[in-house]
Amino acid sequence: MNVKGSKGEEMTGTDAEAYAYLYTAALTQPMDHDWSQVYLYIAGKTYCQWQRDSQLPDDIQVDSLSDYQMAKLNSLKIWLYRKRTQMRLDRDRAERKERKEEEAEKRTAERPALFQF
């Protein structure tokens, strides 16, 4: 993905991320025909990537997608990438805020009281 970004293309999620998301989404609710085709296509690509000498059975193998289905897959990958980067930024902000609050409490505790009544 970094190579795609350096060439000026839009950064997206990986095939494995899309597969994992679609797998869990399929467990929560039924998918329509387009999403099931996208799921089988991405599952086949991911499976062949990790199991070099194997292929999916012919009855569920999807070799290509329509333009509409490919657009849906690409939009899913873009959404996954944006959510991943947003979560990382939010986590970093929360950690910086927590660190800043701890430092402020530490400074307050170390600072002697000038006036005690």
Q: Are 41 and 65 in contact (CB under 8 A)?
A: yes
The 10s digit of each residue's pLDDT in 62-113 is 889 999 999 999 999 999 999 999 999 999 999 999 999 999 888 877 776 6
Residue 117, SS3? coil
pTM over 0.85: no
- Give the DSSP letter of residue 6: H
Measured between alpha carbons, how far is 54 from 52 in angstroms, rounded to an integer? Answer: 6
State the chain's mean pLDDT as an integer.
Answer: 86
Residue 20 clears pLDDT 70, i.e. is over it: yes
